[in-house]
Structure formats: C-alpha cells, structure tokens
Amino acid sequence: MDIVERFLKYVSFDTQSDENSGVTPSTPKQMVFAQYLKEELQSLGLEEITLDENGYLFATLPANTDKPLPVIGFIAHMDTSPDMSGEHVTPRIVSQYDGEDIVLCPEEQIVLSPKQFPELLDHRGEDLIVTNGKTLLGADDKAGIAEIVSAMVWLKEHPEVKHGKVRIGFNPDEEIGLGAHKFNVEQFGCQWAYTMDGGELGELEFENFNAAAAVVLVKGRNVHPGYAKNKMINSLRVANEYVAALPAEQVPERTEGYEGFFHLIGMEGTVEETKVSYIIRDHDLGLFESRKQLMQDVAALLNRKYGEGTVTLQLKHQYYNMRKQIEPVMHVIDIAKEAMLAAGVEPKVKPIRGGTDGAQLSFKGLPCPNIFAGGLNFHGRYEFLPIPNLRKAMQTVVEIVRIVGERG
C-alpha cells in the first residue's frame, strides 16, 4: 500500500477526542482505529505488538544487526481535534496546484485561497490533499501515523539498511492534552524518540509553551433591575472587567515566535453567575509564572471591589517546556537535522506555539522532540497536506533509523 493510499484509509476513521468524557480513550471510536492499526501492523510482520485497555498501541521493528545500538522510537497520535467534525472525511487530491483558489465546497462557497492562506503558494506545482469543506482532514496526526508505518514497511523491504530495534507508539487523546498521561515509558523501552506531529516541511521542534488552563467563576447578585441601584452585582459585567484587566495585546492573534499569551476560549453566564475559560501560554518559565500571578491579582482586585468570593480562579497546570530536558541530549536533534538533509529537506528549528505529547514524555524520562508531519491549517476545514511533505517525512524517519544504525 502506497503512503498516500494508507493516509486516505486512515482519515476515513472518525477519531475525535472529547475532553469531557473522563475516560481513556476519551471516545470509543479511537479504539476502533487502534484495533485496525494493530491488525495492520500484525499483517506487516512487526513484533511485540500490544494494545492496552486505554488505547495505547506499541510495536517493534526488530533489529537486523547484532551491533549494539540504542533503541529509538517514533510516536504519533490517533485522535483528531474536537474543534471540527472528523466524521465522513471526504478528501480529494488537487493535482499540480496552480496557485489559484481551491473550491472545497461549491454549495456553501467554501474556498481555500492563498489570499487567506499564503502558505499555499509555497506548494505551487505539488499535489495537495484537501477536504470537502465540511470536516477537518486529519493530517494531525494521521499523516504522522502513515509516515511511521510506511517507513517501517520500507525498512523491512530494504534489509541492506542495518538498524537496531525500533519502537513505534500510537496513542489517543493528544488533542485534549492527555496523550502522554497513561503512556508507559518503561514498557516503550527507548533511549529517545520523536513525535511525528509537526506542521510544515522541515519543522524540528524541541521548545514548546509552558501551559496552564484557567477557569474564572464570577458570582453575582441578581435584583429586580428597577430597584437594583447599589444592590445588584451583574456577574457578566464583572467578568468583562476581568477580561479587560488582562493585557489586550497579549493574545494569540497578536503574538508570534516566543511571545506568550492569555487566550480567552469561552464565556457563558447570566447576571447571577458567569464562567470564563482561558488557556495561558509562555515559553519562558518566569514569564509563565508571572502570567498566572497576574490572573490571581486581578481576581483579588475584583474581590476587594465587589466583595470576597465574587471571583474565584481555578488554575490547572497542563505541561512544561521540554527544552531543558532535551538540552543534555542534543545529539537527538543533530541526528534529526542530518536525517532531514539526507532526505533533501532543509531543517527549520523553531519553537512550538503549542504543545506535543513529546513535551510530557520528555519530563517522564523519554527525550522526545517533534518532527514535521507535513500538514497545514490543522483543526479546521481549510486543512491540507502536500503529498511531497508526506513522502519527505517518511524518508526522514528512514534516515534517522539509518544514521543511528551506522553510528550507534
């Protein structure tokens, strides 16, 4: 099966995760896909295949040399984002993209245009896989799975490339921040690994945001509006005061690179009670802690103004920047750079403006930087995957295995 055919098969599975389910995997449909992958890996002749009750699928490409070599791994996640439907994904291939608008859905006039997405023009002349405008595509991260599986197939078919034991792992629930929580690092048994979960061609990432989630609960006092003077506390207005007290320029739509932000992701309420949800992000740990402190300070300020207990802040840690875990083992980055160059790809080392399972795995003792999977515009109807990116990512996996096999 060609890598493109494999990818198109994978995206036919609906695997959206659900942050409210409270179980692992968070949706049963992820386990359906995991079972399919397990059977595929068995048919391909991989060994030590395990699928646990939480949906973590591990397998081994055995060493084909007696040379003592480190065990390395490649990881990708099976779930797709809850932000956009992943049901009935109907991709199509745009051959030799001409640089013009791509009509995804004529009935609803949904268009993928370089005017809004100028990165399209970087792929003029290439074959692109796009959506029908009604769902996401699922390249995040089924492209990563297809690349890893296809690389294992290639290595089995080319025994002249000597290599050590290679482990592969596919996990659920990365999109809701839980992909690494029940990942058994000891069972996986690697010296280091790579997540194939990045975006554009050449991306190589070992710095990510420090991350937390915040919920601001505002308790109001409802009184008949005709007689409300000096009595009513409108929780909606207090919530808006809270939002306005945070730096207006430090939001996702106004930041880039290493700049952190406060991201307002939800607000719902009445006069009586309002709930405001945020995510907090910063690469610098000191600035990250300052952001959390600012949110606490604003809550305290409003409680002094409206009365103690009016505003309650709930902070929940999510993950930390993996950089400090990777810096002592920078050879894993050097190998990835060399592998990309061997595959004809220019490495682009950049910070992740987000997080990956690799960040949490690095803090669990498995150094795990992130490599491009090739897709763009993740989590929505405008997602697309240049086919050359897909193939180059697979070649990068092969080259990493080859380099480690040659040098140990």
Sheet of strand 348-349, all strands in order from the earlier edge strand to the far edge: 47-51, 57-61, 166-171, 72-77, 192-198, 370-372, 203-205, 348-349
| Cα-to-chain-centroid distance, residue 139 | 11
- Specify whether 143 is located in the same domain as 153: yes
Q: Which of 44-53, 172-181, 291-300 is predicted least confidently?
A: 172-181
- Specify whether 336 is located in the same domain as 271: no
Average pLDDT over residues 48-63: 98
User: How far apart are the C-alpha atoms of 11 and 5, rounded to whole Å?
Assistant: 10
- Specify whether 203 is located in the same domain as 60: yes
Residue 280 structural domain: 210-319
Half-sphere exposure of 388 (CA within 13 A, CB side): 15
Largest CA distance in the chain: 85
- Specify whether 29 is located in the same domain as 8: yes
Domain end, chosen from 290, 319, 348, is at: 319
- Specify whether 288 is located in the same domain as 368: no
Domain end, chosen from 319, 340, 363, is at: 319
CA distances from 183 to 22, 189, 233, 343 (A): 16, 11, 46, 30
Average pLDDT over residues 283-298: 97
The domain that holds 67 is classified in CATH as: 3.40.630.10
Average pLDDT over residues 89-117: 96
The active-site residue out of 141, 173, 174, 383 is: 174
18 is catalytic: no
- Specify whether 363 is located in the same domain as 304: no
The pLDDT > 70 percentage for the chain reads 100
- Specify whether 23 is located in the same domain as 85: yes
- Specify whether 241 is located in the same domain as 178: no
How many separate domains does the chain show? Answer: 2
Whether residue 42 is predicted with pLDDT greater than 90 in this model: the reply is yes
The model's confidence at residue 19, banded by pLDDT at 50, 70 and 90, is confident
Domain end, chosen from 300, 319, 338, is at: 319
User: How far apart are the C-alpha atoms of 261 and 250, rounded to whole Å?
Assistant: 5
The model's confidence at residue 95, banded by pLDDT at 50, 70 and 90, is very high
Q: Phi and psi dihedrals of 210, rounded to 5?
A: -75, 140
- Specify whether 220 is located in the same domain as 118: no
Q: Phi and psi dihedrals of 64, rounded to 5?
A: -120, 25
Whether residue 141 is predicted with pLDDT greater than 80 in this model: the reply is yes
Average pLDDT over residues 281-307: 97
| Cα-to-chain-centroid distance, residue 300 | 34
Could you tell me if 371 and 203 are in contact, meaning their C-beta atoms sit under 8 angstroms apart?
yes
Whether residue 153 is predicted with pLDDT greater than 80 in this model: the reply is yes
Whether residue 259 is predicted with pLDDT greater than 90 in this model: the reply is yes
Ramachandran region, residue 155 (left: φ > 0; alpha: ψ -120 to 50; beta: rest)? alpha
User: How far apart are the C-alpha atoms of 301 and 304, rounded to whole Å?
Assistant: 5
Tell me the angle at which helices 387-407 and 331-342 cross, rounded to the nearest 10 degrees: 120
Mean pLDDT of the chain: 96
- Residue matched to tokens 């929505």: 380
Q: According to the model, what pLDDT value does residue 344 have?
A: 97
The pLDDT > 90 percentage for the chain reads 94
What is the pTM assigned to this prediction? 0.88
3-state secondary structure the chain: CCHHHHHHHHCCCCCECCCCCCCCCCCHHHHHHHHHHHHHHHHCCCEEEEECCCCCEEEEECCCCCCCCCCEEEEEECCECCCCCCCCCCCEEECCCCCCCEEEECCCCEEECCCCCHHHHHHCCCCEEECCCCCCCCHHHHHHHHHHHHHHHHHHHCCCCCCCCEEEEEECCHHHCCCCCCCCHHHHCCCEEEEEEECCCCEEECCCCEEEEEEEEEECECCCHHHCCCCCECHHHHHHHHHHHCCCCCCHHHCCCCCCEEEEEEEEECCCEEEEEEEEEECCHHHHHHHHHHHHHHHHHHHHHHCCCCEEEEEEEEECCCHHHHHHHCHHHHHHHHHHHHCCCCCEECCCCCCCHHHHHHHCCCCCCEEECCCECCCCCCCEEEHHHHHHHHHHHHHHHHHHHHHC
User: How far apart are the C-alpha atoms of 354 and 50, rounded to whole Å?
Assistant: 29
- Specify whether 165 is located in the same domain as 310: no
The model's confidence at residue 354, banded by pLDDT at 50, 70 and 90, is confident
5 is catalytic: no
Q: According to the model, what pLDDT value does residue 319 have?
A: 87
The two structure tokens encoding residue 163: 């290599």
Could you tell me if 393 and 371 are in contact, meaning their C-beta atoms sit under 8 angstroms apart?
yes
- Specify whether 233 is located in the same domain as 84: no
Q: According to the model, what pLDDT value does residue 86 have?
A: 94
| Cα-to-chain-centroid distance, residue 405 | 29
Whether residue 355 is predicted with pLDDT greater than 80 in this model: the reply is no
The active-site residue out of 79, 173, 203, 207 is: 79
CA distances from 229 to 172, 219, 225, 237, 275 (A): 52, 18, 8, 15, 24
If you count them, how many residues does the chain have? 408
- Specify whether 179 is located in the same domain as 326: yes
